[in-house]
Amino acid sequence: MVSISSEDHGNVIVLAIDGEFYIESIEYAEKIWNQQMAKRPKVIAINCKNIRYIDSSAIGILVKFLNNAMSLKTELVFFDLSETIISVFKTAKLGNFFKIMSRTQFEMEYLES
């Protein structure tokens, strides 16, 4: 099971995904995503620190989120990836599409004014 929490920082929304992100979580994730995108943020960042497992369906929904964000001119950023998720992202060559950074990089670039 996965839980997704959100933090609103003005034009930046941070979604924290916690747990095992797999096919049964897709509908829930889309609901949260759509609620946040309705706010028309400039940036949505996904904190990946507490993702313990991710399957191909969940990766597919992240790609869908990227396409949706791009169509609405919202930047999508992934940060604080665990070693497990880094490995999955590398295997799937997602680093070629996703903007991935450390927590420190993210906070310096998007949260400090």
Residue 84: per-residue pLDDT:
84
Q: Quick check: 80 and 45 in contact, CB under 8 A?
A: no
Residue 110: per-residue pLDDT:
95
Would you list the domain boundaries of the chain? Answer: 2-111
Residue 61: per-residue pLDDT:
96
How, if at all, do strands 43-54 and 75-79 pair? parallel
The whole model's pTM is what?
Answer: 0.94
* CATH class belonging to 2-111: alpha beta
List per-block mean pLDDT (blocks of 10 residues) for the chain, which spans 113 residues: 94 97 95 97 97 93 97 97 89 91 96 76
How, if at all, do strands 2-9 and 12-21 pair? antiparallel
Residue 1: per-residue pLDDT:
84
C-alpha dihedral (79, 85, 90, 94), degrees to nearest 10: -60
